[in-house]
Amino acid sequence: KAEKPELMSGDLTPESIAAAIGHLMPKDAIIADESVTSGRGLMPFTAGTEPHDWLSLTGGSIGIGMPFATGAAIACPDRKVICLEGDGSGMYTLQALWTQAREKCDVVNVIFANRTYEILKGELMNVGAENPGRKAFDMLEIGRPDLDWRQLAGGMGVSATRATTADEFNEQFKRALNEPGPHLIEAWM
């Protein structure tokens, strides 16, 4: 029988985030998942958790995570929604945060901030572009300037924090789950 994972300490990793989600997720939560490269190993950490629904990316789109979560929160206002989003894909549909604030959506947005379009790098490899060159790879990095999701979210009316360790993430995620309305945690990895 699958059991809830224990919270982890130390470095902030995809596994420590997955353990926190599996350990703290409330009953009947809805997960809107577009954390493809950082979140591939998340599902096993939720096998022993409270009953929940998982909305998965089906491919062919970048940026669906936050709109997915917003729609779920509007459709099911009595359920906590957890949005798992990459920082690169989140930039495609950032305005969903404004809608979450305006509509008072009960969403906890977790931004996997690895500061790169990792999914697109993988797609380059999938089509055989093993060395597309420095300029092409440079276009797949998110920097100059680095994104600050706390400021981006705050500018749209969403409370936001940044976690740099597993302990910080555990505390911030627990707090966000226990407060109504939209929240954003920038998981700085």
Domain ranges in the chain are: 14-188
CA distances to 19, 35, 37, 154, 170 from 47, in Å: 11, 18, 20, 33, 19
- For residue 92, how many C-alpha atoms fall within 13 Å in the half-sphere facing its CB? 14
Calculate what percentage of the chain has a pLDDT beyond 70.
94
CA distances to 16, 17, 50, 77, 117 from 170, in Å: 9, 8, 17, 24, 25
Rounded mean pLDDT of the chain? 90
Q: By the 8 A CB rule, do 117 and 90 touch?
A: no
pTM: 0.91
Q: What is the CATH number of domain 14-188?
A: 3.40.50.970
Q: By the 8 A CB rule, do 50 and 105 touch?
A: no
- What pLDDT does residue 119 have? 66
Helix 14-24 vs helix 166-178: crossing angle, to nearest 10: 30
The residues with which 34 forms a beta bridge, in sequence order, are 85
- 137 or 19: which leads in pLDDT: 19
pLDDT per residue as tens digits for the range 25-62: 999 999 999 887 777 788 899 999 999 999 987 776 78
d(CA 127, CA 69): 31
DSSP state of 12: -
Mean pLDDT of 168-184: 98
112-109-151 Cα angle (round to 5):
80
Q: By the 8 A CB rule, do 3 and 49 touch?
A: no
**Does pLDDT of 179 surpass 70?**
yes
Q: How many CB atoms lie within 10 A of CB 159?
A: 16
Mean pLDDT of 67-73: 97
d(CA 83, CA 130): 32
pLDDT per residue as tens digits for the range 4-22: 999 999 999 999 999 999 9
**Does pLDDT of 114 surpass 90?**
no
pLDDT band at 117 (very low <50, low <70, confident <90, very high): low
